[in-house]
Structure 1
Amino acid sequence: MSTIKIGIIGLGYVGLPLARLFATKYPVVGFDINTERVNELMQGIDSTLEVDNEELNAVLSKSPNMETGLYCSDSVSHLADCNYYIITVPTPVDPTKRPILTPLYKASETVGKVLKQGDIVVYESTVYPGVTEEECVPILEKISGLRFNEGFFAGYSPERINPGDKKHTVEKILKVTSGSTPEVGKKVDELYGSVITAGTYLATSIKVAEAAKVIENSQRDINIAFVNELAKIFNLMDIDTHEVLEAAGTKWNFLPFKPGLVGGHCIGVDPYYLAQKAQQYGYHPEIILAGRRMNDGMGSYVASEIVKLMVQKDIKIKGARILVLGITFKENCPDVRNTGAVSVIEHLKSYGADLSIFDPWADPAEVLREYNLDTVQHLDKEGQPKFDAVVLTVSHKEFLTVDWSDYLNSNSIVYDVKGILQNTDGRL
């Protein structure tokens, strides 16, 4: 394999930054089934805001036949002459919290159609240990007609993208790599090492690399669940949780986790993948699922705390005008997948409140499509009734400089989930 050409399957929050990076050194074909997404990228625009438009335009190629650069397409035929395939599609859960591997299966079928002798397929999607070799490889074998580790090979290199983070970009995060044979592991490691400035770590096997990824976010989930439980306890004691954490944080080895809503495509999902696999082996994971229950219940808890404060001020809940600030899963990021803010919104609506949702980062069409919720694009403090409550669920930078008292009645409340506002009636 003297000439390297890379096919990236899935051009979302993970795939596009990786494709852009590889395209600075190799010819890269970016494939996505979303034609609208492909068209916007070929125009040099990334609506996810993960890749700067200037950086994207610097690597774009108008032809799939290039020495270096990125060509985006929704046609499988453009992947035919690649010899490395990197799959970066989502791995969500269904409403019952069971893993959905359909995107991974479909991506494997796509690659299987163009797989050739000696090609290497690398998976980056978060999965439980065994998915690559036990679930995906058989699909590649069936569609391609090639035998695993004879006709083609596989690798796993878990994504570590942090959406919205412009400091820890893909090339600055150490990359775990692995391969289906020692030789292939070395090739995969060298490929990533040629562009990842932070360096690489070659795991001993694909399953080890899969397991490493799924526990990274499970660990964070459990730690956040712990401080969420602390917030509930200290609220009952009328003690400020943030002040407690600040005091405890003076010890050198105290972990600086904060309470809050847990969502997104990683922390709120990955623990269920590990739990699912554990249960297949007859083990019921207690700590992992307890952490998930705690964090999944925070939306209901926040809503009940808001209602309690409103009742204390004799504010009628049914029909109350409540302004919710933020619906993305984290600050300064347009990603609305699996956002914890929606749980707060749904519970407040169940009390009969009249909600207005304002988020300058979220795409209204995507929010409507994903959650059947309308968002407002602009807030006008003149000529409209004041709000009975303002609830900050996401700490976007735009929210820090606004005097929210302009939007409130004299008796209204402000509840700050993130603990960033001054003069609030309540916070976690």
Structure 2
Amino acid sequence: MYNQLISNKLKLAVVGLGYVGLPLALEFAKKMSVIGFDINERNLKMLRNSQDPSEELGPETFENRNIIFTSDPEELKKASFYIVAVPTPIDKYNTPDLKPLLSATLSVAKVLKKGDYVIYESTVYPGCTEEECVPLLESVSGLKFIEDFKVGYSPERINPGDAEHSLQKTIKIVSGCDDESLDIIAKVYETVVEAGVHRAPGMKVAEAAKIIENTQRDVNIALMNELSILFNRMGINTYDVINAAATKWNFVAYTPGLVGGHCIGVDPYYMVHKASELKYHPQMIASGRFVNDSMGGYIAKQTVKRMLAGNQSAGIQAGIQAGVQAGVQAGNQTGIQSGNQASNQAGNQASNQAGNQAGNQAGNQAGNQAGNQAGNQASNQASNQAGIQSPAKSRVLIMGVTYKENVSDIRNSKVADIVYELLSYRTEVDVVDPKADPAYVDHEYGIKMVDKPTGKYNAIIMAVPHKEYRSMTQDDFKDLLVPHGLVVDIRGVFRNIIKDLDYWSL
């Protein structure tokens, strides 16, 4: 099989051309004949024009590649080595949604031939390949597993937006249904993975390895998110604590933040699902998921509380200043008028001495009364102008809506949770993002983005610090905010830059 692939006597097919399948297909296409199969005709049209729908790869990546892009099952039938790389999401109940995986398996099963190989890269719970995919391959094709066709599992390890840890530079876990298949699968992947491969002793081991990679990260981030909530109540900055703790050699500097996307925010639920089948409740995994899934709402609530606190403080301060100024001014004017009037009257009746005394008394009394009235009126007016108002009268700008920085992918973005929570307070919310597709955001979340910020905002939430935002200065934030406005910097990127504004981070 391996020698025939390298000599182009047999073809390799990649089923699913997303952020995982496309770079894999293009890399294999340097060494062998590849069929890129996908059911999304819009994406296929872009791929044929050397455009990556995920915006991860440039046009040069498509050059000098032996590959065709198709949705035609007749073309798919020409392959002998199939790699399935389709999404494995969760449903609204946080249980595994295997429909894309089983649909892709069905497409392969319909064209499967004796001697073919099927390799899965999609993230699944341990046992899924053999329990769900293999039976479907057998029933539809009429072939016998191992005897007629071989199956393997090699989990994807692509990190979108990360050029350093690319497919070529990241060790690939490979596994097969027997020793022969493991050897063939390892050799095939070694042609494109410079870092080499790790041969797992079985498919379940390889499946479990992928699951715990992301579950471990999810649980650790959940710990930091929970500590961030606690530190906030203590009045200390989480990042200051992390920087201090990181001076010890064995401290791992995980940081708090939103956990979304199609991996870390999803994969632990696959393990929870499998655990429930085995009558076990994984408390730590489930708790981590609860904490991380709650962070969007927490950030929104903190934003509202701090806007109200900042508005009240600004209003009181402005009111006191305006009241004192207006009171003094009105008191002086009224005192002078009343003093002159009383002095003239008393002067006609008695002497200049009595007139002066009466003038001072009347002037002071009238001045104080007029000063108090003018001061109270000016104080109230200034307080209202300074912004003592409900969240329903506030404007918030959210910068970034993708699930992580420097990518266009919005799947399972937890920024949406922030938006929904703010809207529940009837706050006006504007969302901008240089990477996200506004039509896709509207379709997925019902959130209508704006082209650019307009007017002044009571708060800015730096939700996703894309590279386009990282050069912003304090003056840039000031230009977008009302006086005494709030900056919420979720990732703490600007904590050493914002000095003169109300600032908060996790």
Instruction: Indicate the TM-score class for this superposition, using the shorter chain for normalisation.
Output: over 0.9
Q: Which residue of 2 aligns with 1:319?
A: 393
Q: Which residue of 1 aligns with 2:131?
A: 134
Q: Which residue of 1 aligns with 2:109?
A: 112
Q: Determine if contact 1:177/1:185 at 8 Å carries over to the other structure.
A: yes
Q: Which residue of 1 aligns with 2:51?
A: 45
**Structure 1 unaligned runs (5+)?**
60-68
Whole-Å separation in 2 of the counterparts to 1:17 and 1:376: 32
Whole-Å separation in 2 of the counterparts to 1:139 and 1:120: 15
Match of 1:183 among 156, 170, 180: 180
Q: Which residue of 1 aligns with 2:212?
A: 215
Highest CA radius of gyration, 1 or 2? 2
Q: Which residue of 2 aligns with 1:63?
A: none
In the superposition, the TM-score normalised over structure 2's length comes to 0.81
Q: CA deviation at 1:49?
A: 1.8
Q: Determine if contact 1:129/1:211 at 8 Å carries over to the other structure.
A: yes
How many residues of Structure 1 are paired with residues of Structure 2 in the alignment? 415
Answer yes or no: is 1:241 the counterpart of 2:319: no
* Pairing 1:20-419 to 2, within 5 Å after superposition: 20-59=26-65, 69-314=66-311, 315-379=389-453, 384-402=454-472, 403-419=476-492
Structure 1 runs of 4+ with >3 Å offset = none
Determine helix, strand or coil for the equivalent of 1:313.
Answer: helix
Q: What's the CA shift string for 1:245-264, capped at 9, x where partnerless?
A: 01101111111100000001
Whole-Å separation in 1 of the counterparts to 2:456 and 2:64: 47
Letter in 2 for 1:176: I
Q: CA deviation at 1:411?
A: 2.3
Whole-Å separation in 2 of the counterparts to 1:124 and 1:250: 38
Q: CA deviation at 1:70?
A: 1.6
Identity fraction in percent: 46
Determine helix, strand or coil for the equivalent of 1:183.
Answer: helix
**Greater shift in the superposed pair: 314-323 or 247-256:** 314-323
Q: What's the CA shift string for 1:11-40, capped at 9, x where partnerless?
A: 001000111111111111111100010110
Q: CA deviation at 1:51?
A: 1.7
**Greater shift in the superposed pair: 259-268 or 398-407:** 398-407
Q: Determine if contact 1:16/1:51 at 8 Å carries over to the other structure.
A: no
Q: What's the CA shift string for 1:359-414, capped at 9, x where partnerless?
A: 000011111111111112334xxxx4211110011110111223121111112111
Letter in 2 for 1:409: V
Q: Determine if contact 1:309/1:425 at 8 Å carries over to the other structure.
A: no
Answer yes or no: is 1:426 the counterpart of 2:483: no
Whole-Å separation in 1 of the counterparts to 2:425 and 2:166: 42
What RMSD over aligned residues (CA atoms) do the two structures have, in Å? Answer: 1.0
Whole-Å separation in 1 of the counterparts to 2:84 and 2:279: 30
**Greater shift in the superposed pair: 258-267 or 164-173:** 164-173
Q: CA deviation at 1:95?
A: 1.0
Q: What's the CA shift string for 1:310-344, capped at 9, x where partnerless?
A: 11023430131110000001010101011111111
Determine helix, strand or coil for the equivalent of 2:249.
Answer: coil
Letter in 2 for 1:158: P
Q: What's the CA shift string for 1:120-167, capped at 9, x where partnerless?
A: 000000000111011001111111111100111100000001011111
**Structure 2 unaligned runs (5+)?**
6-10, 312-388
